[in-house]
Structure 1
Amino acid sequence: MREARCRTSAEVPRKPSSPDSSQPTAPPGSGLSATQRALRKLGLLRDIDFALYLPMRYEDETRIVRLADTRDGDLAQVEGVVVASEVTFRPRRQLLVTLDDGSETCILRFFNFYPSQQKQLEVGARVRVRGEMKGGFLGRQMMQPSVKSAGIDLPLALTPVYSTIAGLAQPVLRREVRAGLARAVLDESIPGPSLPPRAWPLREALSFLHYPTPDVSMAALEDRSHPAWQRLKAEELLAQQLSQLQARRERAAQRAPVLATPRAPQSLYAQLMAVLPFALTGAQARVGEEIARDLTRSIPMHRLLQGDVGSGKTVVAALAAARCIDAGHQCALMAPTEILASQHFGKLVGWLDPLLAERGLRVAWLTGSQKKKERDVMSAAVENGEAALVIGTHAVISEKVRFRRLALAIIDEQHRFGVAQRLALRGKAVEGLEPHLLMMSATPIPRTLAMSYYADLDVSTLDELPPGRTPIVTKLVAEHRRDEVIDRIQAQLAQGRQVYWVCPLIEESEAVDLRNATETRDELAGTLGAGVSVGLLHSRMPTAEKQAVMAAFTANQVQVLVSTTVIEVGVDVPNASLMVIEHAERFGLSQLHQLRGRVGRGAAASACVLLYAPNEGGRVGEAARARLKAMVETADGFEIARRDLEIRGPGEFLGARQSGAPLLRFADLAQDALLLDWARELAPKMLDQHPALAQKHVDRWLGSKAEYLKA
Structure 2
Amino acid sequence: MPPEAAPPSPAAAKKPAKKKAAAPAKKAVPLEAKLARLGLRTDMDLVLHLPMRYEDETQVVTIQEACLHGGETSQVEGIVTKNEIAYKPRRQLLVHIDDGTGDLQLRFMNFYGSQVKQLAEGTRVRARGELKHGFFGAEMVHPHYKIVNAGAPLPTSLTPVYPAGEGLPQHVMRKAIADAMKRVDWTDTLPPRLLERLELDNFEPSVRLLHNPPPDVDTYTLLDRSHPAWTRMKFDELLAQQLSLKRAQKARRAKGSPPLSVIGELSAQFQQALPFKLTGAQQRVLDEIRADISQPFPMQRLLQGDVGAGKTVVAALAAAQAIDSGYQAALMAPTEILADQHFRKIAAWMEPLGVKVAWLTGSLTKKNKAAATQLVETGEARLVIGTHAIIQDTVQFANLGLVIVDEQHRFGVGQRLTLRNKGNENAVPHQLMMSATPIPRTLAMTYYADLEVSVIDELPPGRSPIVTRAIDQNRRDEVIERVHAAALEGRQVYWVCPLIEESEALQLQTATETHALLAEALPDLNVGLVHGKLKPAEKQAVMDAFAANDMQVLVATTVIEVGVDVPNASLMVIEHAERFGLSQLHQLRGRVGRGSAASVCLLLYQSPLGGVAKQRLMTMRETTDGFEIARRDLEIRGPGEFLGARQSGQAMLRFADLETDTWLVDRARDVASALLKDEKYLPVVEGHLERWLGGREEFLKV
Scaled by the length of structure 2, what TM-score is found? 0.91
Q: Retained in 2: the 8 A contact 1:74–1:132?
A: yes
- State how far apart, in whole Å, the 1-side matches of 2:494 and 2:182 are: 61
Tell me the residue number matched to 1:261.
262
> Are residues 1:651 and 2:677 paired?
no
Match of 2:42 in 1: 46
Q: Could you list the per-position Cα deviations for residues 545-580 of structure 1 after superposition, in whole angstroms to 9, with x for gaps in the alignment? A: 111111111111111100000000111011111111
1:457 matched to which residue of 2? 451
Deviation sequence 1:362-396 (CA, Å, 0-9, x none): 11111111111111111111111111000000011
Match of 1:201 in 2: 202
Q: Are residues 483 and 508 of structure 1, via their aligned partners in 2, closer, same or farther at CA, if it must alter by over 3 Å?
A: closer
Q: Residue 334 of structure 1 corresponds to which residue in structure 2?
A: 332
Bigger CA drift: 694-703 or 412-421? 694-703
Hey, what's the Cα distance between the residues in 2 that align with 1:604 and 1:209?
Answer: 59
Q: Is the 8 A contact 1:330 1:408 kept in 2?
A: yes
Distance in 1 between residues matched to 2:141 and 2:466, nearest whole Å: 58
Task: Give 2:520's match in structure 1, choosing from 526, 543, 562.
Answer: 526
- Show CA shifts across 1:313-336 (max 9, x none): 111111111110011100000001
**Identity value in percent:** 58
Cα 1:45/1:631, change in 2 over 3 Å = same
Conservation of the 8 A alpha-carbon contact between 1:336 and 1:393: yes
Find the counterpart in structure 2 of residue 343 from structure 1.
Answer: 341
Whole-angstrom CA distance in 1 between matches of 2:533 and 2:504:
8
Does 1:292 pair with 2:290? yes
State the SS of the aligned residue for 1:150: coil
Residue 630 of structure 2 aligns with which residue? 641
Counterpart of 2:273 (choices 272, 275, 278) is 275
- Whole-Å separation in 2 of the counterparts to 1:694 and 1:649: 28
Does residue 1:552 correspond to 2:548, yes or no?
A: no
State the aligned residue count. 670
Closer, same or farther: CA 503–175 of 1 in aligned 2, 3 Å: same
1:61 aligns with 2:61: no
Tell me how far apart the structure 2 counterparts of residues 600 and 508 of structure 1 sit (CA, whole Å): 31
Specify the alignment match of 1:163 in structure 2: 163
Match of 2:222 in 1: 221
After superposition, what is the alpha-carbon deviation per residue over 1:77-109, rounded to whole angstroms, capped at 9, x for unaligned?
333333444555556555444433233343444
Contact 1:506 1:512 in 2 (8 A): no
Q: Could you state the TM-score of these two structures normalised by the residue count of structure 1? A: 0.90
Aligned partners of 1:141 and 1:695: how far apart in 2? 55
- Partner amino acid for 1:695? E
Aligned counterparts of 2:185 and 2:349: Cα–Cα separation in 1: 60
Equivalent in 480, 484, 488 of residue 486 of structure 1: 480
Aligned to 1:131: 129
After superposition, residues 584-663 of structure 1 pair within 5 angstroms as: 584-615=577-608, 620-656=609-645, 659=648, 662-663=651-652
Question: 1:300, 1:436 within 8 Å by CA — same for their partners in 2?
Answer: yes
Unaligned runs of 5+ in 2: 1-25
Which has the larger displacement, 639-648 or 327-336?
A: 639-648
2:174 and 2:688 map into 1 onto residues whose CA distance is 26
Cα distance change of structure 1 residues 601 and 126 upon mapping to structure 2, 3 Å threshold: closer
1:472-524, Cα deviation, whole Å (9 max, x unpaired): 12122111111121111111111211111000148996998998111101111
**Letter paired with 1:614:** S
**Is 1:370 the equivalent of 2:364?**
yes
2:686 equivalent among 678, 686, 695: 695
1:65 CA displacement: 2.2
SS in 2 for 1:70: helix
> For residues 415 and 597 of structure 2, what CA distance do their matches in structure 1 show?
40
Contact 1:55 1:160 in 2 (8 A): yes
| Distance in structure 1 (CA, Å) of the matches to 2:91 and 2:618 | 52
Tell me: CA distance 1:385–1:249, structure 2 relative to 1, closer, same or farther (3 Å): same
Given the superposition, is the C-alpha separation of residues 260 and 109 from structure 1 closer, same or farther in structure 2, using an over 3 Å criterion? closer
Give the conservation status (yes or no) of the 8 Å contact 2:509–2:575. no
Distance 1:126 1:483, change over 3 A: closer
Whole-Å separation in 2 of the counterparts to 1:449 and 1:507? 36
CA distance in 1, matches of 2:540, 2:135: 71
In the alignment, the residues of structure 2 paired with residue 203 and residue 708 of structure 1 have an alpha-carbon distance, to the nearest angstrom, of 27
Aligned 8 A contact 2:500 2:512 in 1: no
Asked if structure 1 preserves the Cα contact closer than 8 Å seen for 2:391 and 2:415, the reply is yes
What code does the residue aligned with 1:406 have?
L
Give the structure 2 partner of residue 17 of structure 1: none
Structure-2 separation of matches of 1:485 and 1:608:
11
Aligned to 2:21: none
Deviation track 1:606-660 (CA, whole Å, cap 9, x = no partner) reads: 1111111112xxxx11111111111111111122112211222222332248745
- Opposite residue 461 of structure 1, the aligned amino acid is V
Instruction: Extract unaligned runs of 5+ from structure 1.
Output: 1-29
SS of 2:607's equivalent? Answer: coil
- Distance in 1 (CA, whole Å) between partners of 2:408 and 2:86 is 64
Note closer, same or farther for the CA distance 1:472–1:218 as it changes in structure 2 (3 Å cut): same
d(CA) in 2 for partners of 1:610, 1:186: 55
Worse-matched range after superposition: 621-630 or 197-206: 197-206
- Amino acid corresponding to residue 405 of structure 1 in structure 2: N
* CA–CA distance in structure 2, aligned partners of residues 476 and 340 of structure 1: 28
Query: Relative to structure 1, is the Cα distance of residues 592 and 286 closer, same or farther in structure 2, using a 3 angstrom cutoff?
Result: same
The 10-residue stretch of structure 1 (373-382 or 688-697) with the greater mean CA deviation from structure 2: 688-697
Change in Cα spacing, 1:507 to 1:155, as seen in structure 2 (3 Å) is: farther
1: distance between equivalents of 2:116 and 2:637?
48
Match in the other structure for 2:7: none
Q: Which moved further from structure 2: 85-94 or 586-595?
A: 85-94
Change (3 A) 1:488 1:143: closer
Shift of 1:59: 1.8
SS of residue matched to 2:78: strand
- The Cα offsets for residues 342-369 of structure 1, whole Å up to 9 and x where unpaired, read as 000001111111212xxxx511111111
Moved more, 84-93 or 252-261: 84-93
CA shift, 1:458, in A, is 0.9
Displacement of 1:215 in angstroms is: 1.6
What is the CA distance between 1:284 and its match in structure 2? 1.5
Residue 559 of structure 2 is aligned with which of 566, 579, 588? 566
Shift of 1:199: 2.1
Q: Distance in 2 between matches of 1:532 and 1:93?
A: 62
Letter in 1 for 2:687: K
Quick check: 1:514–1:538 contact (8 Å CA) kept in 2? no
| Deviation per residue, 1:92-134 (Å, 9 max, x gap) | 5554444332333434444544454444434443343333333
C-alpha separation in 2, matches of 1:656 and 1:428:
25
Task: Give the counterpart letter for 2:637 in structure 1.
Answer: R
> Does 1:683 find its partner at 2:684?
no
Q: Per-residue CA shift, 1:208-257, capped at 9, x if unaligned?
A: 11111112222111110111111101111111111111111111111100
Instruction: Spell out the pairing of 1:167-182 with structure 2 (5 A cutoff).
Output: 167-182=167-182
Deviation track 1:164-219 (CA, whole Å, cap 9, x = no partner) reads 23322222222222222332333211112112644222121112111111122221
Distance 1:387 1:31, change over 3 A: farther
- The reply to whether residue 303 of structure 1 matches residue 301 of structure 2 is yes
Change (3 A) 1:478 1:508: closer
Q: What code does the residue aligned with 1:163 have? A: P
- SS of the aligned residue for 1:439 comes to strand
Q: Distance in 2 between matches of 1:418 and 1:552?
A: 33
Equivalent residues of 1:85, 1:95 under 8 A apart: yes
Displacement of 1:41 in angstroms is 1.7
Partner Cα separation in structure 1 for residue 335 and residue 383 of structure 2: 18
